[in-house]
Every structure is written in C-alpha cells, then in structure tokens.
Structure 1
Amino acid sequence: MTALGLLAMALSLRIVISDLYARRVPNTWLLAGAGVGAVLVAASALSSSFTDILPHLLGLLIGFAALIPFYAIRWMGAGDVKFFAVLGFLLGWQALLPVWIGASLLAGLHSVTVYVWRGVRGFLPMRAMSLQNQISDRLQQRPALQTMQAARQGRVGIPYAAYLGFAAIAWVLWSINGGSP
C-alpha cells in the first residue's frame, strides 16, 4: 500500500465518521489531507519523475469539476465536492470513476430505502405503527441521539461524503489486493 493510499483511507475514515454523525465535512481535515498529500506527491516526483504529478493534479481538477454542477443546483454540499477533489488528488484521476460509481450506488440504495420505508409505513397495521412510534420516541430521548441531532444543527440529507469515503476505502483495498488502479 502506498503512503497516498493509506492517507486517503485515513482521511476517508475521518470524513465517514463526521458525515454520518454531524453531516459535516471539516475543511481542516481536507486541507490537512491535501497538504500531506502534496508533500508526498512532491517527494515522489523529486525521487522519480515530475510526470508522476500529472495524475494527481488531473484527479484534483476532474474531481472538482465533476461534482461542482451538483453543488451549483443545490443537490450536494460543498464539502462533498471538496472531498471528492481531494480524493482525486490523493488517489489520482483513475480512482474517480470507480469511487463515484460506488458512492452513487450507496446513495441510491439509501434513497430507495427511505422512500420504500415511507411507503410501507402507511400500510402497517395500527399496532405496528404505534410500536414504531413508541420506539422512535424512546430513541429520541437518548442523550447520544440528542447530542448527534444537536451536532447536525438541522442538516438533513444523504451523507454522500460518507459514501465517497466508503467507496474510496474499498477502491484502495481492491487496488492493493490484485486490482489495477
């Protein structure tokens, strides 16, 4: 495993936790990951060839350009776009399509599950709906869930950055276990 792959996995894990918990992608972590990645890419280029920088720069530019339209039409948060660009920088442009496909499949599964659950709830017997409401009320009273809701500050939606992180981790593991990047 390369140092950039390990860095991408560590950053992805941090972003997954943050996005699932608070629906936030901290800029400090993105900047730190990009900064350490820039040092690693520069060191690699100095020891071998400056053409080694090109896949990483293309990954940064393509990653940003690919998702910025979704931010512009308010389908996605800025943190998701920046995280995808940083992943492109760390892993190179070759990783972007598989990571994007994996994340989009996970996000689609999330959406379908939410819509199916909303549809099914209307057909549940009254006793089952009452039980579900009681369980939901009890969960809402848990301090851990209240803390998480407070951390989200009303932000809702699909945790796309978390799904990008899961897909990036899977891609790195796949590429070191016989897949070709």
Structure 2
Amino acid sequence: MPISTWLDLSLFVLVVCAAITDLAIRKIPNLFLLLAWCAVLGLHLVDTASAAAIGNALGGAFVGFALFLPLYVVRGMAAGDVKLMATVGLFLGPAETVQTCILTWCAGGVMALVMILFTRRWSDAYVNLRSLLLPMLRIGPMAQASVMARPSVGSMPYGLAIAVTTLWLLAQRHLT
C-alpha cells in the first residue's frame, strides 16, 4: 500500500477518535496527537522523498496552528482543538490545511448556531460574540484590554467539526 494511503487511513482514525472523545468527555487527548505525529513523521521517513514530504507536513502543521491559535487566544476554542488542527495539517500540507480550516470554521459556526438554538441562550451568545469581535476592531491601548469573563453558552465539541470537515475532504479525495 502506498504511503499516501497509510497517511489517509491514519488521519481517518485520528479524527474519528478525536471526535468521539471530544463528544464524550470534551477533551482531545494529547496521546492521540502524539501518536499521529509519530505516525506521520515515521511514514515520511520511510518514503524516498522524505525531506520534501516532512517539510510539507510541518508547513501544514504550522498553518493549522497559526489559523486556529487566535481563536484560542480570545477564548473562542480550547487548546486541544488548536493542537488537533495542527495535527490534521501535518497530514494534509499547507494548501489543504487552509481549505480545511475555512470549512471547519463554517461547520463550527453551524454547530454553534444549532447549540444556541436548542439551549435558547441567544443573549449570552450575543454577549460572547460581541466580546470576541470588539477587541479585534479597536485600535490603540484599548485593543490590549483583557477579555472579560462572560457567561458561557456551553462547551462545543469543535473536534467534531474538524473531523466532519476532514472526513469530507478525504472522501472527496478518494471518491472522485
């Protein structure tokens, strides 16, 4: 079996396991992510073009981390979600990681709207969204103000959004 098939199979297992644990306990275990990093780097080391492949993988990890880190900084998501997206980027490379991040943000937005609809916490959600967006629009000293404590609308299993998007992209890759 080619290396790319092993990588896709490993990515499939990773995102499914991450989504299940995120749904069950609202955490993405670091052990999953560490095993995935070892698998990717190990598979690339047995590949003949390992230097270019490892560089591409690390570039994807950097892109995933960089695009999700701002949401963690403003307390819009958990650190496990950022680490999961960096790990997914390790499998996909930079270009596909950008696409995955954008689609995941869309899927996460839909999930958030559904959660807010079912919990009927519209006013808390408005306060949260406002406190996330206003600091980004301010210029000068007020832009550095710390994020105030705000009422939680509930934790969202963002690992599920990452998994759904990744699985959709993998399906497109193998079914078309």
Asked which structure has the greater CA Rg, the reply is 1
CA distance in 2, matches of 1:63, 1:175: 19
Deviation of 1:92 (Å): 1.4
List aligned pairs for 1:138-157, cutoff 5 A.
156-157=154-155
Whichever residue aligns with residue 93 of structure 1, its letter is P
SS in 1 for 2:156: coil
Deviation of 1:49 (Å): 5.4
The answer as to whether partners of 2:23 and 2:157 remain within 8 angstroms in 1 is: yes
Partner of 1:159: 157
CA distance in 2, matches of 1:177, 1:54: 27
The answer as to whether partners of 2:44 and 2:54 remain within 8 angstroms in 1 is: yes
Partner of 1:8: 11
Normalised to the residue count of structure 2, the TM-score between the two structures is 0.73
Partner of 1:63: 64
Partner of 2:113: 112
Highest RCO, 1 vs 2 (Cα 8 Å, sep ≥ 6): 1
Whichever residue aligns with residue 71 of structure 1, its letter is Y
Whichever residue aligns with residue 24 of structure 2, its letter is Y
Deviation of 1:88 (Å): 0.4
Could you tell me which runs of 5 or more consecutive residues in structure 2 were left unpaired when the two chains were aligned. Answer: 122-153
The answer as to whether partners of 2:108 and 2:158 remain within 8 angstroms in 1 is: yes
Give aligned pairs, total: 141
CA distance in 1, matches of 2:113, 2:38: 37
Deviations 1:144-175 (A, max 9, x none): xxxxxxxxxxxx41111121011111111111
Q: 1:40 aligns with which of 36, 40, 43?
A: 43
Normalised to the residue count of structure 1, the TM-score between the two structures is 0.71
